[in-house]
Structure 1
Amino acid sequence: MSTPCRLAAALVLAVAGSSIGPASAADWPTRPLRIIAPSTPGGAADMFGRLVCDHFSEAFHERCFVENRAGAGGLIGMAAAAQAAPDGYTLATSSIAYNVIAPAISPNPGFDPMKDFTHIAYIGGPPNVFVVNPALNVRSLAELVALGRRGAAIDYVSPGVGTLGHLMAEVFAQKAGIKLQQIMTKGGSQAMMDLISGNVNVGTMTWTSALAQIRAGKVIPIAVTASARLPEFPDLPTFKDLGYDELTAVTWFALSGPAGLPNDITQRLNAAVAKMLELPDVRKRLDRDAVETRVMTSDEFTTFMASEIDRWTPVARRVMPGN
């Protein structure tokens, strides 16, 4: 075969191969989608993963399932996602905990939170709230600061070491010029029980985990990290209202995949998440838990991820023992 003929044949094969490849958006998906949730069943990552899966099953007419891969603060699950083939069939519930805080404080996270992922779509998350036991006789953030400035450190609980609640408490203490001492617990549920029982009188919890006890009057909210006041509690100030602009944050979750995910598949996934967030039943469910959502393009979410890493990595390394 002559050289021109060989070149022509090679070109035909290349074009044909690119049009029928497994990662082509024209054919994708042709088999079930897997979303790795780096948490135990029932955890927030699991909940958001199942929410997305339910919508994807309808949007793409293909089965979608959640695989729980908990451990090491979410690092095990995210590492598995990073190592998966970039074909659009393995995705992960990413978050501020798994992709920002945990990699910052781990000597060997097993992945680079930017280079090893395609960041597809932002979903959102609940704010954190500072709550107190009624027996403390504190009804505002100003009163808590006044108590702290009397000299003794104030004990508090959070969902755990290295969580956003932990970091927010330490940032607040530094800005307010008071001392806070974290009391170790085995998670958010035990932390809330310690608050209700009066073993500890101050806590920084996610709004979702604290809401039932707030409604029951067992704990009193004094400030929330939301970007705006919550409709159910219009008298509850945000930290921004009180002059702590840097304490506006949510425990956000999102959707990511392995690095190298084809752009056409990334855009279809991003559009599906954006459509999901507009559904009335989804909106009602998320609003009930004060989940702040925001529609972002994949490029916008990637930029946001980088900014969150820049924002929280120095804080995490400063407050965590051994860093």
Structure 2
Amino acid sequence: MSKQLETELKRTVIIDNRPGANGAIAVSAVTKGPADGSVFFLTSAGAIVINPSLYKNLSYRPDRELMPVSLVVTTPQVLVVPLQSKIGSAKDLVAQRRAGRPVSLASSGIGSMPHMAIELFKASTSAEFLHVAYKGAAPAITDTIGGQVDAFFGDASGLLPFIEGKKLKPVAVTTAKRLPYLPDVPTLDESGIKGVHAENWYGMMVPAGTPPKVVQTLNEAIRKTLENKDVKANLAKMGLTPAPSTASEFAGRIRADGDKWSKLIAERNVKPE
């Protein structure tokens, strides 16, 4: 997106990746930046709608220190197993656990969207699976391919290359309907496992206090960027769905998701350890 965004904004866009702590490191850097539109933040859902309910001593307050600009893209969770696994469906995982066999489910980390999907899965099935939290998706994918864990919930965008490369087998998706790029993979609802709806998203935010006109300029640039046919094609290949919104619509999504994950974290007694 960055090149097209440069065209729309008529200025250079420099990408500064700040990984770690489920987005907390990046948020801290952005909130210390100038509120003039020169610094904007492409964030995943975790840092904004999960961290505040998970960490008691969070170093930032997204509702006070950041302003929404636009939702950008969404990507659902996909449940995958090793290619050679005898597990052929989500029901198989549940059946094995109920038969007394330990079943491990990997995530990309505590508080990640895959972790939230696992908690929903456990709640829906009334089965206790072993949650193996990795530090990032890459090692989780590697160990799933190698059979060190039984299954992995992950963003579709990160898993498609491994599914298409015949290294992982998808057995379910967390959407209400089947995905156009994985038409043969059933939803968890179809599998009789209801209510496991977990969708990661990426959205643009700016430091609090950024002038409304600047926010609107950025919003329009994002919308036009996502309308570009080449950008749309590239995003589709990655399992990302363009989802431009107004700033107020994005704020509403943040509130709704924050309430949803806060409730789940409390009900499931999820801890950051």
5+ long unaligned stretches in structure 2: none
The corresponding residue for 1:30 is: none
Matched, 1:121 2:53: no
Letter in 1 for 2:129: L
CA deviation string 1:277-305 (max 9, x = no partner): 11111110111122122221111101111
Q: Which is further off, 135-144 or 296-305?
A: 135-144
User: For 1:243 and 1:298, how far apart are their aligned partners in 2?
Assistant: 36
The corresponding residue for 2:219 is: 270
Matches within 5 A, 1:86-235: 86-235=35-184
SS at match of 1:290: coil
Matched, 1:295 2:244: yes
User: For 1:307 and 1:102, how far apart are their aligned partners in 2?
Assistant: 15
User: For 2:99 and 2:19, how far apart are their aligned partners in 1?
Assistant: 42
User: For 1:64 and 1:213, how far apart are their aligned partners in 2?
Assistant: 30
User: For 1:213 and 1:201, how far apart are their aligned partners in 2?
Assistant: 16
User: For 1:249 and 1:157, how far apart are their aligned partners in 2?
Assistant: 15
- Contact 1:270 / 1:298 at 8 angstroms: preserved in 2? yes
Match 1:75 to one of 24, 28, 37: 24
Q: Which is further off, 270-279 or 206-215?
A: 206-215
- Contact 1:162 / 1:316 at 8 angstroms: preserved in 2? no
Match 2:204 to one of 232, 251, 255: 255
CA deviation string 1:200-239 (max 9, x = no partner): 1211122222222222333221111234322232121123
Letter in 2 for 1:130: L
Q: Which is further off, 187-196 or 245-254?
A: 245-254
The corresponding residue for 1:64 is: 13
User: For 2:256 and 2:158, how far apart are their aligned partners in 1?
Assistant: 27
CA deviation string 1:155-175 (max 9, x = no partner): 121112221111111211111
Letter in 2 for 1:320: V
SS at match of 1:160: coil
User: For 2:28 and 2:234, how far apart are their aligned partners in 1?
Assistant: 30
User: For 2:68 and 2:192, how far apart are their aligned partners in 1?
Assistant: 32
User: For 1:244 and 1:270, how far apart are their aligned partners in 2?
Assistant: 38
- Contact 1:164 / 1:251 at 8 angstroms: preserved in 2? yes
Q: Which is further off, 230-239 or 297-306?
A: 230-239
Structure 1 residues 314, 276: closer, same or farther in 2, change over 3 A? Answer: same
Letter in 2 for 1:165: P
Quick one: percent identity of the two aligned structures?
28
Letter in 2 for 1:274: R
Higher relative contact order (CA 8 A, sep 6+): 2
TM-score normalised by L of structure 1: 0.78
Matched, 1:320 2:270: yes
TM-score normalised by L of structure 2: 0.91
5+ long unaligned stretches in structure 1: 1-50
Letter in 1 for 2:136: G
Letter in 2 for 1:123: V
SS at match of 1:120: strand
Letter in 1 for 2:80: V
Structure 1 residues 322, 59: closer, same or farther in 2, change over 3 A? Answer: closer
SS at match of 1:270: helix
User: For 1:289 and 1:307, how far apart are their aligned partners in 2?
Assistant: 26
Letter in 1 for 2:139: Q
Letter in 2 for 1:55: Q
User: For 1:160 and 1:111, how far apart are their aligned partners in 2?
Assistant: 20
Structure 1 residues 260, 241: closer, same or farther in 2, change over 3 A? Answer: farther
Letter in 2 for 1:94: T
CA deviation string 1:175-194 (max 9, x = no partner): 11212102243422221121
> After TM superposition, what 4+ stretches of structure 1 lie above 4 angstroms from structure 2?
none
